[in-house]
Amino acid sequence: MRLRWDGGRDLGLRSSRAAARGAAVAALILTSSANAGTAIVQFGGNLVFGPTSQLTLEIGVPIAGSGYDQLQAAGDVGLGGALVLVPSVPFEPTLGATYTVLTCAASSGEFASVAGVQQSGGLDLALRYTDDAVVIEVRQRGDVDGDGQLTASDTAIVQAAASAGLATSDYGAGDVDGSGQVDSSDMTIVADAVAGAAPVPALSPAAQLALAGGLLGILFARRARAFTGGLS
C-alpha cells in the first residue's frame, strides 16, 4: 500500500500499521493493488478528502490490517472524491461479512462515487455511513434495506429516492451501482434482482406506511448531514 499526498509525494507503508501525523489533507490518494499488502493507517488529526481525491482500498478477509485496508483518524473526517474497492486475489465474498474501512471522531459528507461494488455470485459490497465510520457490508445484489431478502420494499426505497433525485453513494439509500446518484440504473438493477428472487408475501398497508416513513427519515437525515458538512 502507498499513501500519495496531493502534489505527488508518496509515503510507502511496509508494516501492518503506520502512523501519519499532521493537519487536514485537501486531496489524498491511498492506493493499493490486489495482494500488495493490506494495512491499518492512522492519522493523528483531521482529514479532508477533496473532490479530486481517490481512496483505493483492498478488500479481502474481514480482519482489519491483515485482511483489508483501514483508515483510522483521531479527529474529524470530511468525505469526498472517489472510493475504489479492490478485491484481493482470490476473493470469495461471504454474505453478511462487514469491513469497517474508516473510523474517526466524527464524519461529514459522502464519497462522490464508489467503484468495485458488484462482485461475483450476485453479491455486492454495500457502502453505508455512520456518524464515525464508513462500513462495507456484503449483501445480495439489490438488498437495499439489508434485511437479507429481495422484496418490494427494496424496490420502493430506490423508486422513491430516484423520484426525489437523491444524490448519495449510500447503498441503503438506493445507490446500488455506486454512481453517487440514485437513478434509473439503480431501479433496473433492483427490479431485476427482485424479479429473479423467490416470491415473498406482499407488504401490508401498515408495512408500506412504515416503509414510507422510514424512507422520509433517511432523506431528511441525508440532507441534514450534507448541511452540517457544508458548515464545518
- Judged against a pLDDT cut of 50, whether residue 188 lies above it is answered with yes
- Judged against a pLDDT cut of 50, whether residue 17 lies above it is answered with no
> H-type helices in the chain, by residue range?
152-163, 184-195, 205-231
Percent of the chain residues topping a pLDDT of 90: 58
pLDDT value at position 90?
A: 82
Q: Which three cell numbers stand for residue 138?
A: 456484503
Number of domains in the chain: 2
Residues 131 and 152 in one domain: no
What is the pTM (predicted TM-score) of this model? 0.75
Average pLDDT for 35-64: 86
- Judged against a pLDDT cut of 80, whether residue 67 lies above it is answered with yes
Alpha-carbon distance 48 to 74, whole Å? Answer: 13
Q: Which of 140, 174, 196 corresponds to the end of one domain?
A: 140
Q: Which of 120, 140, 160 corresponds to the end of one domain?
A: 140
| Contact between residue 176 and residue 117 where contact means Cβ atoms under 8 Å apart | yes
Q: Taking each helix axis from N to C terminus, what angle separates 152-163 and 184-195, rounded to the nearest 10 degrees?
A: 170
Range of the domain at 176: 144-232
